[in-house]
Structure 1
């Protein structure tokens, strides 16, 4: 027999309390926390909401981390995009490959989680694009350097051979 406190939650059996200890608190907060789909006042007719009211009461609205995390992540995208002005030899391949990988992984994840967060998906896709552009710049630069290095080595080899032939002719002339 349960103790009687005069409140509804005090009359629950031990089994109900063991599985749902916060049920009473959830029922109270559910009344006060409304969303666009579930108005705060039960039984009230659904009134059309303005755009700003929908943004304010949305699951990914301005009051949630689902809004502010992508807003802050735009700083990472802008920092990566500001590196477009830097020469390719000063960029890090591993850093930009990491930006590209995290952008692609988290873009996919944004479509799997609930609530779907399109703002987060957009910022991660832009992060993937920035990483891809930078990685392609770095690889293009490195491949052009390899080509110019082989050409430089061939021209140095030719100069050395020519100077050696010149020295050989001078030595033969003296003998």
Structure 2
């Protein structure tokens, strides 16, 4: 028998064990921070599962830059906007809004920023669509007048 087959014979029960692929769950992982309302707000936010020291807080804060960039594009003419980019932002915002409400712990801050990202994308895609529609109408009028 080769040494590699001995390894798999010995290791096989470990790979079959259910706990091998799943992290251990202790019930206190997602407990509410409202258990002790006498704590100061900053301490509760710091120790929260979606608090200041987690990605659940900082990812939405950074994503607001995309929303602000989209809002600043409201001042740009529609011919300079990218349809594919704004369609992607719309889809991303709408899909992730739903996903943020499904995952545990629910991340309301991230759902909010994604909702607004989707709204900004819908406005921009509508502006681009109306601009392209008006170009086609002008083209038809120009062909009729010839």
TM over 0.5: yes
For 2:126, the equivalent position in structure 1 comes to: 136
Deviation of 1:36 after TM superposition, in Å, equals 2.7
Question: After TM superposition, which residue ranges in structure 1, 4 or more long, deviate above 2 angstroms?
Answer: 34-38
Number of residue pairs matched by the alignment: 125
TM superposition score normalised by structure 2: 0.75
* CA deviation string 1:127-166 (max 9, x = no partner): 00010000000111111111111111222x1xxxxxxxxx
Q: What residue ranges of structure 1 are gaps of 5+ in the alignment?
A: 1-14, 39-45, 158-175
For 2:111 and 2:82, the matched residues in 1 are separated by 25
Q: Over alpha carbons, which structure has the higher Rg?
A: 1
| Higher-RCO chain (CA-CA 8 Å, sequence separation at least 6) | 2
Give the aligned CA root-mean-square deviation in angstroms: 2.6
2:68 to 71, 78, 84: 78
Q: What residue ranges of structure 2 are gaps of 5+ in the alignment?
A: 1-13
TM superposition score normalised by structure 1: 0.64
* CA deviation string 1:89-124 (max 9, x = no partner): 111111111010000000000000011111100100
For 2:47 and 2:126, the matched residues in 1 are separated by 42
